[in-house]
Every structure is written in structure tokens, then in C-alpha cells.
Amino acid sequence: MQKLDFSSKTVLVLGDIMVDHYVYGNVDRISPEAPVPVLHFTGEEFKLGGAANVAANIAALGAKSVLLGVVGNDDAGEKIAASCKRNNIKFVPIIDAKRPTTLKTRYISGVQQIMRKDVEVNTLISEKLEESILAAIERLKKSTTIDAIILQDYNKGLFTPSLISKIISFSKDQSWLISVDPKFANVGLFKEVDILKPNRKEFYTLAASVGISLGEIIEKQEARKIKERIKSKNLWVTLGKDGIYYHDENDIDHIVPTTQKNIIDVCGAGDAVMSILTLCHLVGTKSDEMAKIANIAGGIVCGKLGVVTIDINELNALLS
């Protein structure tokens, strides 16, 4: 397989930005106060999460990465900015002092997650914030040559129905490749895009939203109907341990099984696949090769603890 090189491409990632906070320790006893484990703290780290992790993957894969989203006027938002700088990501924050930056704290004993605490507000953003996002994209268009936009939705309130419609329309006017990683609440609203990548559960929700009932196996005829009704050029469905399904713009569909065996943590695998599909599409990679590359990328993430990014050198080494 030809060596991958994405260095000439620039991708704008718009979506729900998060901080992934990991608290590490060891558990060797149960608390006498309640039937819960006692974690003996050994360390912690903060990582880019959500849409910020997708932007980090784009940068780690060698492309130019721009991140746009809403953060709070808080310590977590400052950590996002600092981490973006370290990871060569151009960060364009829309700050809302009334809305905390989403912070997910995972408590880890060994390689086992024992608890997670979320700090977030997931109500829809205001019309004023929508206008700020659109204005920021307009400024970026004038200052940066953008090849693709990834809409990374985690149902945290950024993607209102009106913003989805306006962003897709604007991106089409700019001839940007539009990739979407949807979540349940909005999965049926992302129409007329170039790449739509739900996971298996989101795909079944999407099917129901357009009046189609799916069986256990994804059938080509059903997938074609769904694809036609949402007018997506390329449909990709991540299937976890079963690999990845695609139905592309040439009406070719296939399920490519995964070869990953050692699954430690699935966090961030979908982010890596979204990044790979977008960049590979930009450089003209064929669908069957894209599926294999995406499976390998997802496997790298699943074989490591926590949210990690895909390094272009590691990926090319495995592909060769």
C-alpha cells in the first residue's frame, strides 16, 4: 500500500470540545465507610477530548488542523488552548462564561476504569453563539485555505438544527469536503454531506428516522434507501469488533472485518476513524483501502489505554 502523506491538506474540525481527565491509582481494598473501592492516587493527566481529539488526530497524521467550538471561561478551557498549542492545532475558541467546558474524569486502577465523573451542560447553544460560530468560520475562510470540515457531534448542545443547516450550506458553497460523525439526537439532520460515519447503534437510529427498520445484518438494499433519503455520498458504519461497513458514491458496498484482537479501551477509536476517512478521501484513496486503513487505525487506539492519537509514522509502518 502506498505511503500516506496528508501534509498538503487542511481540515477544520467543528464540534463539541471536551477535556479527558485521567486519575490513575491502585485499588487494594474496599472502603469501610461504604462498599466502594479505595483508589490510591498515583498520578493524573489531561488530554484533548471530543472534537479536540479529532483535531489532534488530524495534526498527528501530518495535516494542518483547525479546531472551532464552544468552551467555558474556566481552567478546562485553558487546558484545551495550551494542549492545542503543544499539538500544532490552530484553536479558535468561542467562549461562553455561562457554560463550563465539558470535563470527563475517569478513575483508572491498573488498566480498569472504575468510575467516570462528567461536568457538562448539554442544552442547545444560544442564537448569539450560533452567530459567533458562523462569523468565526467566515473569518477562517478568508485567512485559511480549508479542504474539509469535520462536524463532530456528541450531543452536548453545539449542533442546533439551524446551525447544522447553515454550516452544511456554507461548506458546500466553499466546495469543502463535509464529513460528519453524528450522535443520536441529530443523526437524521446531517443531509447532503460527503461522508456520514455513524456507529452501529447510531445507524439503526438513522434508519428509524427515515422510516426503515433494519434486521441484525446490514443489507445493501436497505443501506441504499437510507443513503438516498439522507443524500449522503458516502456512508460508513463502524461495527466495533465486526469491523467497518461502507457504501460509497460508486454504489459499492462491503463489510471489512477488523483484525484487532487485543482490545484494552475503545475510547477515541471513532475519532481516529473519522480523521482517517476524511484525509484519505481528500487524497483519493479507494474505499476498500480506506476501510483497511481505518480498521488498522481504530485497532491502534483500542490496543492502548485512554484516548490516544494516530501517529502518521506508526500508521505507515503498519501499512507497509
Q: Catalytic positions, please? A: 271
**Coil, strand or helix at 106:** strand
- Residue in 274, 263, 275, 267 with CA at minimum distance from that of residue 299: 263
26 CB-near residues (< 8 Å, 6+ apart): 39, 40, 42, 109, 110
14 CB-near residues (< 8 Å, 6+ apart): 51, 68, 69, 133, 137, 149, 150, 151, 152, 158, 167
Radius of gyration in angstroms for the set of CA atoms belonging to the chain, rounded to a whole number:
19
Chain centroid, CA 274 distance in Å: 6
- Residue in 214, 245, 190, 242 with CA at minimum distance from that of residue 14: 190
Handedness of CA 19, 128, 155, 215 (dihedral sign): negative
Q: 273 is written with which cell numbers?
A: 476513524
Chain centroid, CA 136 distance in Å: 21
Q: 21 is written with which cell numbers?
A: 481527565
Matching residue, cell 472551532: 68
CA separation for the pair 301, 306 (Å, rounded): 8
DSSP secondary structure code for residue 87 in this structure: T
- Residue in 136, 236, 233, 229 with CA at minimum distance from that of residue 181: 236
The answer to whether the beta carbons of residues 270 and 179 sit under 8 Å apart is no
The answer to whether the beta carbons of residues 274 and 56 sit under 8 Å apart is no
